[in-house]
Amino acid sequence: MTTPPPRLSTDQLIGANFSFQHWPLADVARAMQGFGMTEIELWGIAPHLDLFHADAARIDGVRRVLEETGLKLRCLTPEQVLYPINIASGDEAYRQASIARFCRAAEIAADLGARHLFLTPGRGFESEPASRAWDRSAEALRIIAAHAADRGLRCLLEPLQRRESNIAHSAADLRLLLDMVDAETMDVVLDTVAMACAGDSVADYVRLFGDRLAHVHLVDGTPSGHLIWGEGVLPLAQYLQDLAQAGYRGALSFEPFGDGSYALDPMRAWRHNMQAIAAHLAPGKALA
Amino acid sequence: MTTPPPRLSTDQLIGANFSFQHWPLADVARAMQGFGMTEIELWGIAPHLDLFHADAARIDGVRRVLEETGLKLRCLTPEQVLYPINIASGDEAYRQASIARFCRAAEIAADLGARHLFLTPGRGFESEPASRAWDRSAEALRIIAAHAADRGLRCLLEPLQRRESNIAHSAADLRLLLDMVDAETMDVVLDTVAMACAGDSVADYVRLFGDRLAHVHLVDGTPSGHLIWGEGVLPLAQYLQDLAQAGYRGALSFEPFGDGSYALDPMRAWRHNMQAIAAHLAPGKALA
């Protein structure tokens, strides 16, 4: 008699507002509640909660939406690739403003009861050696992680693709950067598209990060593109099985961006993803 | 004996910092000077001059770079699609903050000696009727144009693609919106990709806007993509000839975005565009 392969739990799948940036947040939260979600990743964009308009009224509004829908905030993920935020910039005034904004983001995330603040390495000038950007990134991440830790918050660090950054792209890069930062409270994100673009595997992430792997962005791609399940060529079911086999207990969230058209009908994109993942998850046991 | 077809003038071609967002501005300006440019369109992004970090020191820095390279600022084009700026948002607090930021942008542009402030319609919620967003957009554009006019500045209005906005996409849409705004100081932009995506022609723009057509973004596409000349399928040489035939006297600027890889080597992208356009322009006569 063979044992069925282990599966990740439905409890590990959390909601998010990815693709929903042109809906009011209250409607997004109700949609996520409708999908049976109990936790969400909040992408920090306008008009929901971006770092440039995060005044007390805005934060209170988010808190009210969470309370009304009973959703718990798993992590705050400020938009930091498209928006003018860069903790590794070669422009020092801009970089310091970005660090200050992320320290404030840590306070907001803690205030809203999040477990994690989501970070990326930033990007240096393309006209200078990348090593300088690495140094600036590590220093900034250390400052932000310390500020977050003082408020009881852990951080998450995700690698970017080359077109998004000249700092850390692969799992090995991310390990180097994590060692440079040297903060016990910094965990790691596996984004299936970033992983595939860098030629890495789930096994690489598990080997390099162990329990520090705390968050997974589940997206299809060709290998890039951040597509909904089935519109790309990535073996998402196999990735889920690999994660289950490794005893992964962290969060899973969908991050569909595509070419911008998912945002015209985000419910369609999410229904599609929810249907695709259903068969690959087992009924809930507690999320770590 | 046949008369050669009229050509646009080399003086109409202006520089820009598109694709150069990961270079220091001083280096971009020197590169544009090297290409023989005397005027530039300044894309208002970080770290050059975005509306979220445009303090006095930053504005003075830009002024110094312009003075040192002898470049004149033709127009300021704040990033307003990717960034958290939306003058038509259904979120009123966010919309008011965006309008205020654009009024400030008009002051900055005037202060730097620009002729034009570049605007787009913004975007309403995808979960409400677009007509509401049209009304909010028109009202916001009227407020900003009046504020700009008080400082001697004209505005430019560019349509967006459907994935970027639910307001004005075609030349006919843009004419409607322009009539709703009803500001004598608002001119119009022809973006070759937006035009092709909407199924419009140069003749449509000339017929609908006449002398109000004051700025052209010259980009290749498939039809979308904002590519460098030759990497798409658009008949750019024909567009230039159509513009020349119509007696167009406004500015021409390249706006290469692509998939983000042009920004890894923006000089390559610009050299390519400069070589491609050379044969289609006649030696200078004054730009209107």
Residues of B in contact with A84 (CB under 8 A): 45-46, 50, 52-53, 79, 83
Lowest-confidence segment of A196-200, A237-241, A283-287, B93-97 by average pLDDT:
A283-287
Interface residue A130 vs chain B (CB under 8 A): no
In A, minimum Cα distance to B224 occurs at A259
The whole-angstrom distance between A206's CA and the closest CA on chain B is: 30
Predicted local distance difference test score (pLDDT) of residue B284? 76
What CATH number is given to the structural domain containing B89?
A: 3.20.20.150
Interface residue A230 vs chain B (CB under 8 A): no
A91·B164 Cβ contact <8 A: no
Which of A45, A52, A96, A167 would best serve as a mutation to test chain B binding (most B beta carbons within 10 A)? Answer: A52
What is the distance between the terminal CA atoms of chain A, rounded to a whole angstrom?
31
Strand partners of residue B282 = B9
Domain contains A119: yes
Interface residue B107 vs chain A (CB under 8 A): no
- Examine the pLDDT at A143 and tell me if it is beyond 80: yes
Q: Quote the percentage of chain A above a pLDDT of 90.
A: 96
Predicted local distance difference test score (pLDDT) of residue A286? 57
CA distance A240 to A41: 19
Predicted local distance difference test score (pLDDT) of residue B149? 98
Specify the DSSP element, H or E, that contains B156: strand B154-157
Mean pLDDT of all residues belonging to chain A = 96
A126·B57 Cβ contact <8 A: no
- Band (pLDDT 50/70/90 cuts) for residue A280 is very high
- Band (pLDDT 50/70/90 cuts) for residue B210 is very high
Strand partners of residue B117 = B76, B155
A264·B126 Cβ contact <8 A: yes
Predicted local distance difference test score (pLDDT) of residue A138? 98
Predicted local distance difference test score (pLDDT) of residue B286? 58
In B, minimum Cα distance to A123 occurs at B22
Domain contains A1: no
- Band (pLDDT 50/70/90 cuts) for residue B2 is confident
- Examine the pLDDT at A169 and tell me if it is beyond 60: yes
What values do phi and psi take at B224, rounded to 5?
-85, 180
B93·A58 Cβ contact <8 A: yes
In B, minimum Cα distance to A22 occurs at B125
B163·A45 Cβ contact <8 A: no
Domain contains A258: yes
Predicted local distance difference test score (pLDDT) of residue B170? 96
Nearest Cα to Cα of residue A204 among A172, A176, A249: A172
Residue A168: give the domain boundaries.
Answer: 8-282
- Examine the pLDDT at A174 and tell me if it is beyond 60: yes
Predicted local distance difference test score (pLDDT) of residue B276? 97
Which residue from A27, A46, A166 is facing B94, i.e. has the nearest CB? A46
E strands present in chain A: 8-9, 13-16, 39-44, 72-78, 116-119, 154-157, 186-191, 213-218, 251-254, 281-282
Predicted local distance difference test score (pLDDT) of residue B14? 98
- Band (pLDDT 50/70/90 cuts) for residue A285 is low
Domain contains A37: yes
Interface residue B263 vs chain A (CB under 8 A): yes
Which of B17, B22, B80 would best serve as a mutation to test chain A binding (most A beta carbons within 10 A)? Answer: B22
B24·A125 Cβ contact <8 A: yes
Contact B93, B44 (CB under 8 A): no
Residues of B in contact with A89 (CB under 8 A): 46-47
Predicted local distance difference test score (pLDDT) of residue B191? 97
pLDDT digit string, tens, across residues A204-262: 999 999 999 999 999 999 999 999 999 999 999 999 999 999 999 999 999 999 999 99
Predicted local distance difference test score (pLDDT) of residue A2? 73
Domain contains B79: yes
Mean pLDDT calculated for residue range B242-256: 97
- Band (pLDDT 50/70/90 cuts) for residue B1 is low
- Examine the pLDDT at B113 and tell me if it is beyond 80: yes
What values do phi and psi take at B96, rounded to 5?
-65, -40
CA distance B125 to B131: 11
Mean pLDDT calculated for residue range A186-213: 97
Predicted local distance difference test score (pLDDT) of residue A5? 85
All residues at 6 or more sequence positions from A103 whose CB lies less than 8 Å from its CB, including other chains = A143, A144, A147
Domain contains B241: yes
pLDDT digit string, tens, across residues A65-97: 999 999 999 999 999 999 999 999 999 999 999
Interface residue A163 vs chain B (CB under 8 A): yes
Residues of B in contact with A50 (CB under 8 A): 84
Specify the DSSP element, H or E, that contains B217: strand B213-218
Q: Quote the percentage of chain B above a pLDDT of 90.
A: 96
Domain contains A63: yes
Predicted local distance difference test score (pLDDT) of residue A3? 79
Contact A154, A107 (CB under 8 A): no
Q: Quote the percentage of chain B above a pLDDT of 70.
A: 99
| Structural domains counted in chain B | 1
Residues of A in contact with B163 (CB under 8 A): 259-261, 263-264
pLDDT digit string, tens, across residues B6-45: 999 999 999 999 999 999 999 999 999 999 999 999 999 9
Helix (H, G, I), strand (E, B) or coil at A134: helix
Helix (H, G, I), strand (E, B) or coil at A220: strand
Domain contains A2: no
B235 C-beta neighbours (distance < 10 Å), count: 12
Contact A18, A282 (CB under 8 A): no
CA distance B33 to A219: 43
B265 C-beta neighbours (distance < 10 Å), count: 12
pLDDT digit string, tens, across residues B254-284: 999 999 999 999 999 999 999 999 999 998 7
The whole-angstrom distance between A125's CA and the closest CA on chain B is: 5
In B, minimum Cα distance to A265 occurs at B126
- Examine the pLDDT at B150 and tell me if it is beyond 70: yes
